[in-house]
Structures are given as C-alpha cells and as structure tokens.
Amino acid sequence: MSVRRFWASVSTLAVAAAISLGAAGPASAAGSGAAAGGYAALGDSYSSGVGAGNYLPDSGDCRRSANAYPHLWARANSPASFDFVACSGATTSSVAGNQLGVLNASTSLVSVTAGGNDVGFADVMTDCVLSSEAVCVNSVNAAVARMNNSLPGALDSLYGSIRDRAPQAQVVVLGYPRFYQLPGRCIVGLTDTERSAINNASDVLNDVLAKRAADAGFTFSSVVDEFTGHELCSGDAWLHSVTVPIHNSYHPKAAGQSGGYLPAFRSAV
C-alpha cells in the first residue's frame, strides 16, 4: 500500500497539527534573562528538538530536547547563562512576541530558526501526503510565493527586534535541510516530482533566510551540506518521514541534531 493511500485514512486536521514545525500552539518563553556572556536559543521546533526525543520535563508542548543542538552546544561550552526558549510551532511573530524577553544588552550569542511555519509548511506537507501530485506542486508553489513576498518583511522585523534587544550579540540564523535524496531509495510515497518541488522550496527558503540575515548583519549557517547523504530516501535518514508519534514527522532525529545542526552551528560561532 502506498504512503498516500495509507495516510488518506488519517484526518487532515490531525496530520496538519502534527507536521507543522512542531505545531503545539503558541510559543512560550521560559527561563531567566540572559546574563553577561549568555547564550539564548530561539526559534521553532528545528531548534527546540522535536523528533529528537529526551524532552526536558519543564518544556511542555514546546518539546525542548536535551538532544537538540542548543542544549548540546551549551553542555559542551558552558556559557555564563543558557536560555533555551525555542518552541514547537513558533513563527517569526511568536518568536518576537514570546521569546525575546530573555535577551538583553549582555547577551553574547543567539541562535534562531524561524520561517518555515510562516510559509505554511504544515499545509504543504499535508497536501503532498494526502492529495495528488498536482495539488502538492501547487501548494509548494504557493509557499514559495510567500517566501518571496511576505516572509522577507517578517524576517526583517524579527531580526530587527533581536538586534534591538541584544545589540552586542553574535546572532546565528540556521537554515533547513533538503528533505529528499534524489534519486533515492524510496519506492512508495511521494513522487520524485513532488520530492523535487519540496527540495526546491527548501532551497528558496534558505536563500531568503541567508539574504535577510546578511542584511541584518547576522551569520547564516546552512545545514544542507551536513544533511547531504542523510535525507529521506537515502537509506541513512537523519529526518523522520511520516511516523508515529506523528509530531515527529519531517523533523530531525537525534542524529540530525548532533550530526547536522550542531556542526553547522558550531562552525558559525
């Protein structure tokens, strides 16, 4: 049975709720204000570590993982303070509204992933998993249009707010991996046309993030090279496909955090 037929029996709402970049409701900030020399980890579920397991007891639906790259980096480097406030489901506006309270003039390092939820990642993957190739490609194209039209302004606003709150900090913006190896080993599920369209959308998103980060004076660090050879359909994937628990779907595994995101962050700091 194909992946599409199987998941056609799943409620669209359930899939959408689970595969948004960790859709868990509004992002919430936690922790104290960053002390001198402090590190603050902001962003969505790719920074909180959804899919990596070993979630911190106090993180609730934000699903902050001890296996996520911010926690791994902080454990190895012992910053003066560590504010891990990245949250599943975060958008640029919810990061700005709910996570920036930990920043101040003494914050020296900030990491952030944001933008995937703004362009409707959940809707795109729901369409691609449950609908036809044509619907999938149209949904991807609509997301790409949002990346080019509305996302740059949203990123500029968020990045400006980060700089205002942490004027002395080095800010590292991390990107998103390509999801699929092409040609790959998958023989069921999405078509190569759909997989190629999704990969192209990831490239466009990363290009937009890189340009806006550069204009803000921030460092952009891609994770594409680190994940190459470990995409879905590679035989050694560091990303979950559609899986149970379903909120892990299309998120990095622990190996993707330690082998993909951590080196990309470490190389930029």
Domain coordinates in residue numbering, the chain = 3-268
Q: How far apart are CA 238 and CA 95, in angstroms?
A: 26
Q: Is the pLDDT of residue 102 over 70?
A: yes
For residue 22, name the pLDDT band (cuts at 50, 70, 90).
low
Look at residue 208 and give its three-state secondary structure.
helix
Through-space distance between the first and last CA atoms of the chain, rounded to whole angstroms: 46
The catalytic residue among 71, 230, 247, 251 is: 251
* 78 is annotated as an active-site residue: no
Beta-ladder partners of 43: 113
Give the C-alpha distances (Å, rounded to integers) separating 190 from 64, 153, 197, 248: 30, 32, 11, 18
The pLDDT score that the predictor gives to residue 245 is 82
Are 99 and 48 spatial neighbours (Cβ–Cβ below 8 Å)?
no
Confidence band, pLDDT 50/70/90 cuts, at residue 104: very high
Q: What is the pLDDT of residue 28?
A: 38
pLDDT above 70: residue 1 = no
Catalytic site includes residue 202: no
Section 164-192 average pLDDT: 95
pLDDT score for 21: 57
pLDDT at position 221 is 98
What number of other Cβ atoms are within 10 A of residue 145's Cβ?
13
Positive or negative torsion for Cα 97, 103, 105, 107: negative
The dihedral built from the CA positions of residue 124, 129, 133 and 134, taken in this order, carries a sign that is negative
Higher local confidence (pLDDT), 220 or 23: 220
Task: Give the mean pLDDT of the chain.
Answer: 89
20, 45, 222, 249: the active-site residue: 45
pTM of the model: 0.88
Residue carrying structure tokens 């993982």: 65
Residue with structure tokens 């669209």? 12
- DSSP alpha helix (H) spans, the chain: 3-7, 12-19, 45-48, 69-77, 92-98, 121-130, 133-149, 151-165, 192-216, 224-227, 254-256, 262-268
Here the tokens at position 3 are: 């992946």
The CATH architecture of the domain made up of 3-268 is 3-Layer(aba) Sandwich (3.40)
**pLDDT band at residue 247 using 50, 70 and 90 as cut-offs:** confident
Instruction: Please give the average per-residue pLDDT across 239-266, as a whole number.
Output: 93
Helix, strand, or coil here: 65? strand
pLDDT higher than 50, residue 107: yes
Q: Which of 17-31, 167-181, 248-262 has the lowest mean pLDDT?
A: 17-31
Which whole number is the average pLDDT over 18-36?
43
Contact 84, 41 (CB under 8 A): yes
- The single-letter DSSP state of residue 257 is I
User: Of 76, 153, 148, 86, nearest to 114 (Cα)?
Assistant: 86
pLDDT of residue 241: 92
Name the pLDDT band for 12 (thresholds 50, 70, 90).
Answer: very low
Residue 34: pLDDT band (50, 70, 90) is very low
Q: Tell me if 264 sits within 8 A of 226, measured CB to CB.
A: yes
Sign, Cα dihedral of 84, 87, 90, 93: negative
